Structure 1
Amino acid sequence: MDELVLRPYQHRAVAELRQKFADGHRKLMLYAPTGSGKTVLAAEMMKKAYDKRTRTAFVVDRIVLVDQTSRVLDRYGIPHGVIQAGHWRNQPNELIQICSAQTIEARGFFPDTALLVVDEAHCVRQKIAEFIQSTTAKVIGLSASPFSKKLGELYDGLVSPVTTQELVEGTDEFPACLSSLRVFIAKEIDMEGAKTSMGEWTESEAITRGIKISGDVVAEWVKKTYEIYGRPAKTIVFSAGVAHSEDLVRRFSAAGYNFVSISYLDTDEYKKEVMEDFAREDTEIHGLIATDILTKGFDAPDVLIGVSARPFKSSFSSHVQQLGRLMRPWGDNRKTWIDHSGNYLRFLSKWEDLYTNGVQQLESHKDEPVKEPTKKEKEAAKCPQCGALWPKGSDSCPSCGHIRIRANQVQEVAAEVFELGAGPKEKKKKNKVTPVRDKQEWYSQFLHYEVTTGKKKGWAGCNYKDIFGVYPRGLEEVMKPPTPEVLNWISERRKQYYAIINKTRV
C-alpha cells in the first residue's frame, strides 16, 4: 500500500476547493491538464471525506474507468464499493462508491451521498446533470477540457491550480511532470465543402475524405518513427471512424506493421484485452487505432507517437483530450505529434492560450467553429524541409535546423558571429512553449561547439538568440557534444549565410 502524497499544485487545488465551499459555493469545476493527477487528487478528497464518515460518490462514464479508479483507491488503502451491474465489488454499505454512469441511469437513482465527484465532467449526461441541479450535496467536476456550453449552468465556481506550461517546464515548486510535443504538420485531410451537423463535420464525410490519405498517414509514420526513434515506436492513431480505422489497419499491415483497431463495435472484454496487451513494454502491437475510445481512461506513458487523422471543425475539447493522451512523460523521450487532421493549426491560438494561462472561467474556450487558416498561413506555419511546426518569431527550425533567410536583415557581428531574422532594433517574442530543458540542450551543445572549434566567446549565446529570440538567461554553463540535429542547424546556417554574402558581392 502506497502513501498518498500530493504535489504542491494538488495541495493548492484542495485548499482552493475547501475555501470556495466555505465561501458558499456548492458545485465546483476543477480544471487540470491530462496527466496532472486528477484521480489521485480526487482520492485525497474522498479519503478526507471518509475519515469524517461522509458518504461520497465518484461517477465515471466508461466501464474501464470503474476498475481504473478502484485500483487507485486500493493502492492507497481507501475502502470503497462499486455500483456497476454484475461487479464483484458490490458493497453498498461502504462510504465511498465508484459509480458507472450507465448503471446509475439504468437504475434511475443515485446513492445517498454528501459529496459527488464527476469524472470527465465536460461530457454532460442528462441524468447526471439533472441530479447535479437538484442535489444538496457538494459537487466537484473534474476535467482537462471544461468547454461545454452547459457547464456554466451546472457549476457555480472554477478552480484552476496549474497550467500545462507549468507542468511541462516545471516551476520553483515542482519539477516538470509532463512531456513536451514535437509537432509535425503532415498532409491534411481535405474537408473543404464537407457537410456539417450540429456545428461539426459529419462522420461519414470525415471517413470518406480520411481514407483518401490513408497511404500518406502510413508513409509519414514510417518516415518519422525511423528518423526520430530509429525504430517503430509505440503509437496511437485517432481515426475519423470505424471504416477509416479498418482501412488504416490494412495499410499498416501491408507495410509490415501490427496496428490494431478498437471501436464501440467490439466487446468490452476485447477492448480491455487489447489495451492491456498494448500497455505491456514487450507488446508486439506497434499501434492502437480508435476514434474516441482512447481519449478517456487510456493511460500508456510509453506511447511516443500520436497521429491525428480525425478533423474537428469546432470540438476544441476533443483536440485537447487527444493531445493529453501523449503528454505523460516516459524517460527522456520527447513525444511526437503527427497532424493529418489540420486540428493543430485550426485550434492553435486556443491551445496556446490554454497552454499558457489555463482556464480562467467556464466556457472561456467553449467548443464552436473557428476560422480556418488560409493555405498561405498553413504553409508559413511549418518547416518546408521536415514539416515541423515553425516556432513563432524564429528564423530556424528547431527540428532539422532549416533556416528562413531574410537577405536584407543579415547582420555580421565581429566577422564571425551574425544574427538572422531580426533588425538591430527589432525584438523577437520569446517562445513560451519551448521547455527549459530543451533550451538548455541547445545552449550546452552550442557552448561545446564554440570551445572545440575555437569560436569567439559569445558565439553560443548569439546562435541561441537566433532560435529563441533572447540571449540565454538562467541556464547552466555546461557543455555537451552536439547532436546531428544541432550540427545540421549550424551547417545549414553557414551555407545560407555565405550564399547571401556571395550574392551581395556580385
Structure 2
Amino acid sequence: MLTLFDYQEAILGKLRDGFIAGHRVQMLVAPTGAGKTEMAMELLEATGNKGNRGAMVLDRIVLCNQTSERLDKYGIGHGVLQSGHWRFRPQELIQVCSAQTLEKRGSFPNLKLLIVDEAHQTRKQTIEFIRNNPHVWVVGLSATPFTKGLGKTYTNVVSAVTTAELVERKRLVPLQVFVAKEIDMTGAKKVAGEWSSRDAEDRGIAITGDIVAEWVKKTHEVFGGPVKTVVFASGVAHAADLAQKFAEAGYNFLSLSYKDDDQFKDDAIKEFAKPDTDIVGLIATDILTKGFDVPDVMIGISARPFSKSLSSHIQQMGRVMRCAPGKEFALWLDHSGNYVRFQKDWDDVFFNGITKIDEGREKPKKEPTEREKQEAKCPRCSRIWPTGAETCPCCGFVRLKRNEVVTVPGELTKLEGGKAGASKETKQKWYSMLLYIQRERGYKEAWTPSKYREKFGVWPRDLHFEAAMPPSAEVKGWVKSRQIAWAKGRQAA
C-alpha cells in the first residue's frame, strides 16, 4: 500500500489547488530522493479510481519497466503501452509508456491526466502533444526545471520541501565534498555555451591516473576499503579508460554507454544494486542520472566538466545522496571543478528550494579564479568549506574570518558583527542544538554553555535554556571539528 509523507501530501494538495485555479499544465519540483515517482503514482491511482485514464510518460524503455515494477510493488493495476511488451494491457485505466510510443501514436483517446517524467528534458513532440490536447491535465516532474522554454508550457510550479529539509529529515544524506586534481578546460572549445564533448573527453583522459589514485586514497582513508562508487566520465572513451585503470589497480569498475543495449545496462545496474555484488563501481556519462536508484552508493566521482549545465551537476550529486542503513554521508570527489563553479547556485537550491522556472540558471558560468578555487577549500585536506563555517569539519583546521580584523597604522581594530554579532535567533538555534547533543551523549551540563562561548565568544544570556532541538549538519560538523582539534592538541602535547 502506498503511504505518503506529510510534505508529499502538501505538494499534491498544491497541485490540486493549481488545477482548480485554472493551471492545466503544472511542474512538480522536488529534489532527487523526495519521492516524485510515489507522488505521481498517487495521482495516477486517484485518477483511475474515478474511472478516468491516466498515463506516465518516460524517455526510455528501461525506465518504463522500472516504473511498472514500482506500481506492482504498491498493488496498482496498470498496463505498459509498448508494442510486444508482456504487460500490454490497453484496457487498463493507468498506462506507462515511453515518450517515443506517445509520439508515434500522436493521440491518446479519453486521457485525463498525463505525467511527464524528467520534464526539464523537453521533447518537441511531447510539448506538441500537450498543446494539441487541451482537455488533458499535465504534471511534469523535475528536480531541476532550468531548461529554456519550460515557462511557455508549464504555467505553475509546485513544491513544498528543500534538499536541506530532506537531509534534516534523514530522507537524504549530506555530501562531504573534496576538491581533487581538476580537468584543465583552459582554452577548450564551446558548443552552444557548453564545452565540446571531444575536448572534455581528451582532457579527462589526461588525468585518469589521478582520478583512480585519489579514489583509492579516499576510499581507504574514509571507509577503510573499497565501497560502492559511481563515476561520471567525460565521454565513452574516458569511461573505458577509467575502467581499465581501475582494473589495473585491482578494482572491478564497469563502464556503461549508449553503445550497450538496454538489457545489458539494466542487468548491470541490478547486479550492482545487490549487497554482495562483485562490482565496485559503475562508470558512465549521463546514463546514471536517470532512473538510477542504488541507495548504498557511498562515493560519487565528478569527472565531466560543465560550463553551464547546473541541472546535470545537481542530478549527478543526487545519485549518491539517497539514504541507506548505516549511511551517514556520501563522499563527492570533484575532478571537474563543477562544485566550485556552481556553488552559489547549488547553495541557493539546497537551502531555499525552487519555486519558479528559472531559465537564467542554465547559462555559462564565469570561471572561478585560482584564488577563489583555493579559498573554497580547506588548505590542509582539500574539503569544501561548508557555507558559513569557520572550521573545517574534516580536519579541524580553523580559518580566520575575512574582514573580522583590519589593520590600520599603529593598531589592530576588531570589526563589529563577528561571533558576538550573530542574531539572537541564530544564537538560540545553536544553543538548542548544542543542548540536544549534550543530552543525547550524556555530557555534563557545563558542556553546552562552554561550547556556546567557544562558538560566539560570549556566555549565553537571555535564551530559552531548556529548549533543545535536533542539530543541523553544520552544528554536528562544528562539534566534530572541535573534538578533532582537541584530540590533535592532546596528541601534539
2:98 to 100, 103, 107: 100
2:265 to 264, 267, 271: 271
Provide Cα deviations, 1:256-275, integer angstroms capped at 9, x if missing partner. 11100000000111101111
Counterparts in 2 of 1:211 and 1:331: CA distance versus 1, 3 Å: same
Q: Which runs of 5+ in 1 are unaligned?
A: 171-175, 411-420, 499-506
Correspondence for 1:51 = 49
Report whether the alignment pairs 1:458 with 2:452.
no
1:489 to 478, 481, 485: 485
Separation in structure 1 between the aligned mates of residue 353 and residue 480 of structure 2, nearest angstrom: 35
Correspondence for 1:416 = none
Tell me the SS of whatever aligns to 2:138: strand
- The TM-score, its normalising length taken from structure 2, stands at 0.87
Counterparts in 2 of 1:425 and 1:103: CA distance versus 1, 3 Å: same
Q: Percent identity?
A: 48
Report whether the alignment pairs 1:205 with 2:205.
no
Counterparts in 2 of 1:265 and 1:138: CA distance versus 1, 3 Å: same
Report whether the alignment pairs 1:124 with 2:122.
yes
Report whether the alignment pairs 1:375 with 2:373.
no
Counterparts in 2 of 1:228 and 1:125: CA distance versus 1, 3 Å: same
Report whether the alignment pairs 1:145 with 2:144.
yes
Letter aligned with residue 216 of structure 2: V
Letter aligned with residue 154 of structure 2: Y
Separation in structure 2 between the aligned mates of residue 430 and residue 379 of structure 1, nearest angstrom: 32
Separation in structure 1 between the aligned mates of residue 162 and residue 480 of structure 2, nearest angstrom: 33
The offset of 1:450, in angstroms, is 7.5
The offset of 1:360, in angstroms, is 1.8
Correspondence for 1:169 = 168
Provide Cα deviations, 1:118-171, integer angstroms capped at 9, x if missing partner. 01101101110111111120110011111111110111111112111111113x
The offset of 1:344, in angstroms, is 0.8
Separation in structure 2 between the aligned mates of residue 51 and residue 456 of structure 1, nearest angstrom: 57
The offset of 1:491, in angstroms, is 4.2
The offset of 1:13, in angstroms, is 1.0
Provide Cα deviations, 1:255-296, integer angstroms capped at 9, x if missing partner. 111100000000111101111110000001110000000000
The offset of 1:488, in angstroms, is 2.9
Retained in 1: the 8 A contact 2:54–2:114? yes
2:332 to 323, 334, 337: 337
Letter aligned with residue 458 of structure 1: P
Retained in 2: the 8 A contact 1:239–1:309? yes
Correspondence for 1:216 = 210
Counterparts in 2 of 1:70 and 1:17: CA distance versus 1, 3 Å: same
Separation in structure 1 between the aligned mates of residue 358 and residue 56 of structure 2, nearest angstrom: 24
Letter aligned with residue 117 of structure 1: I
1:186 to 180, 185, 208: 180
Retained in 2: the 8 A contact 1:236–1:287? yes
The offset of 1:373, in angstroms, is 1.2
Separation in structure 1 between the aligned mates of residue 369 and residue 172 of structure 2, nearest angstrom: 32
Counterparts in 2 of 1:198 and 1:18: CA distance versus 1, 3 Å: same
Correspondence for 1:33 = 31
The offset of 1:424, in angstroms, is 6.1
Correspondence for 1:474 = 468
Counterparts in 2 of 1:290 and 1:169: CA distance versus 1, 3 Å: same
1:306-325 alignment, distance < 5 Å: 306-325=300-319
Report whether the alignment pairs 1:254 with 2:245.
no
Separation in structure 1 between the aligned mates of residue 49 and residue 424 of structure 2, nearest angstrom: 50
Separation in structure 1 between the aligned mates of residue 31 and residue 161 of structure 2, nearest angstrom: 8
Counterparts in 2 of 1:189 and 1:39: CA distance versus 1, 3 Å: same
1:347 to 327, 330, 342: 342
Letter aligned with residue 95 of structure 2: Q
Tell me the SS of whatever aligns to 2:397: coil
Separation in structure 2 between the aligned mates of residue 357 and residue 406 of structure 1, nearest angstrom: 25
Separation in structure 2 between the aligned mates of residue 349 and residue 163 of structure 1, nearest angstrom: 16
Q: Which moved more, 1:356-365 or 1:96-105?
A: 356-365
The offset of 1:106, in angstroms, is 3.7
Separation in structure 1 between the aligned mates of residue 356 and residue 401 of structure 2, nearest angstrom: 41
1:86 to 84, 97, 115: 84
Retained in 2: the 8 A contact 1:183–1:388? yes
Separation in structure 1 between the aligned mates of residue 240 and residue 435 of structure 2, nearest angstrom: 41
1:282 to 262, 276, 280: 276
- The TM-score, its normalising length taken from structure 1, stands at 0.85
Counterparts in 2 of 1:476 and 1:464: CA distance versus 1, 3 Å: farther
Separation in structure 1 between the aligned mates of residue 402 and residue 35 of structure 2, nearest angstrom: 49
Tell me the SS of whatever aligns to 1:97: strand
Retained in 2: the 8 A contact 1:73–1:79? yes
Separation in structure 2 between the aligned mates of residue 248 and residue 158 of structure 1, nearest angstrom: 40
Q: Which moved more, 1:263-272 or 1:324-333?
A: 324-333
Retained in 2: the 8 A contact 1:306–1:326? yes
The offset of 1:448, in angstroms, is 7.2
Q: Which moved more, 1:397-406 or 1:326-335?
A: 397-406
1:429-440 alignment, distance < 5 Å: none
Retained in 1: the 8 A contact 2:435–2:468? no
Letter aligned with residue 285 of structure 1: I
Separation in structure 1 between the aligned mates of residue 123 and residue 352 of structure 2, nearest angstrom: 28
Q: Which runs of 5+ in 2 are unaligned?
A: 406-415
How many residue pairs get aligned? The number is: 467
Counterparts in 2 of 1:383 and 1:88: CA distance versus 1, 3 Å: same
Letter aligned with residue 276 of structure 1: K
Provide Cα deviations, 1:449-476, integer angstroms capped at 9, x if missing partner. 889xxx987333334558xxx9997347
Correspondence for 2:410 = none
Retained in 1: the 8 A contact 2:231–2:283? yes
Correspondence for 2:411 = none
Correspondence for 1:360 = 355
